[in-house]
Amino acid sequence: MNQHALSRPDDPHPGHRLTEALHIAEVFGGEPGCIAQARALADHFLMRLTSEWMAVLGEHTRDDLMLAVSEMVTNADRYSHGPYLLELEGTARRMSVTVYDSSTALPVFYSPDPSRLGGHGMEIVVALCDRLTAERVPVGKRIRAEFELSS
């Protein structure tokens, strides 16, 4: 199986791809400070999304998105052998965080277990987002977390 997809059972738009959206992408090479740079890019993107698209972020949305970016970029940095791409897309109603990396190994999704050491990154992302997909692509893999924003 080349793709994993996790979404809430009540997801009204499974597989929905954003169109006519604000978009930004940046390649990171794994140098020190990459994760902080990715978070800064995401923060700048969210500011633009709220000012240019009039997106309304819920009370915890900004923190959830920033944590998801941190976890996804950390995994790409830790497990891939080469540069990785962070892509952010958004409209007034939804946003996606996508990371492409060179590893073809799809993430392992563990059941919550507070006694387990490590392996909590994707567990956290799944808990924060409305839909998560992981699939192999020609360059390695793509992980996409989608978020519904407040309206």
Element (H, E) at 96: strand 94-101
Say how far apart CA 76 and CA 83 lie, in whole Å.
Answer: 9
Sign of CA dihedral 59, 64, 69, 74: positive
Residue among 26, 44, 3, 7 at smallest CA distance from 148: 7
Sign of CA dihedral 149, 16, 66, 68: positive
Q: Tell me how far the alpha carbon of residue 123 is from its chain's centroid.
A: 12
pLDDT of residue 151: 56
H runs (alpha helix) in the chain = 34-52, 61-79, 121-128
Per-residue pLDDT of the chain (151 residues; tens, 9 = 90+): 334 444 333 444 444 444 589 999 999 998 889 999 999 999 999 999 999 999 999 888 999 999 999 999 999 998 887 799 999 999 999 999 999 999 999 998 777 788 888 778 899 999 999 999 999 999 999 999 999 997 5
* Entry pTM: 0.84
